[in-house]
């Protein structure tokens, strides 16, 4: 089963995804896309680490997400990817503009063949003010297109607001 958990900053999306992963009663591999580039991000990463069960495996990969999914997906196993918008940011910041397109397509192409449970977490960024800068507008556009493509492929899509899940597609929580 593929699931996409969307929400704004501090909406409870990661906490919900972690609960869903725990509820599978399967071994879980947490795939972290963030990079500890500053003190604030280090604090966010520490908060996520403290909340996760110690027995969960961890893979840190900021760019090659499709490769990591193929390497770690298995029957009876749950992968939790947190988060897609950080992954997108990492790709947008690379010197090679074609890598975003190739990594995005690799991700979308591999989803139908992956065994086990996969839970994606991502920030819903397109519900606010349109950003002024070119790069931030591109980020919002790319995130929106990625979310639409993933939502088509996922069996469940949930929007989380104020810690409350709203099921947009699939079985309600």
Candidate list 48, 67, 77, 138, residue with the active-site label: 48
pTM, to two decimals: 0.94
> How far is the C-alpha of 39 from the C-alpha of 119, rounded, in Å?
27
Range of the domain at 73: 2-169
Residue 170 token pair: 């699939």
CATH number at residue 91: 3.40.50.300
How far is the first Cα of the chain from the last one, in angstroms, to the nearest whole number? 14
Can you give the pLDDT of all 173 residues of the chain as single tens digits?
A: 999 999 998 899 999 999 999 999 999 999 999 877 777 877 877 887 888 899 999 999 999 999 999 999 999 999 999 999 999 999 999 999 899 999 999 999 999 999 999 999 999 988 877 788 999 999 999 999 999 999 999 999 999 999 999 999 999 99
Number of structural domains (the chain) is 1
> How far is the C-alpha of 57 from the C-alpha of 30, rounded, in Å?
6
Residue 17 token pair: 């995804």
- 147 flagged as catalytic: no
Q: Which of 36, 50, 47, 17 is nearest to 154 (CA)?
A: 17
Tell me whether the omega of the peptide bond preceding residue 123 falls within 30 degrees of 0, making it cis.
Answer: no
């Amino acid at each position: 089963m593929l699931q996409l958990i969307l929400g704004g900053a501090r909406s409870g999306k990661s906490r919900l995804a972690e609960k869903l992963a725990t509820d599978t009663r399967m071994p879980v591999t947490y795939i972290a896309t963030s990079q500890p580039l500053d003190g604030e991000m280090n604090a966010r990463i520490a908060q996520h680490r403290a909340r996760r069960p110690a027995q969960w495996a961890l893979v840190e990969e900021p760019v090659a997400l499709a490769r990591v999914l193929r390497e770690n997906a298995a029957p009876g196993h749950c992968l939790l990817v947190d988060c897609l918008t950080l992954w997108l940011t990492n790709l947008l910041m690379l010197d090679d503009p074609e890598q975003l397109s190739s990594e995005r397509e690799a991700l979308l192409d591999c989803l139908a063949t992956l065994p086990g449970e996969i839970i994606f977490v991502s920030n819903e960024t397109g519900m606010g003010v349109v950003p002024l800068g070119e790069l931030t507008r591109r980020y919002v556009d790319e995130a929106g297109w990625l979310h639409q493509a993933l939502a088509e492929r996922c069996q469940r899509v949930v929007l989380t607001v104020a810690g409350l899940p709203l099921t947009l597609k699939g079985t309600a929580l």
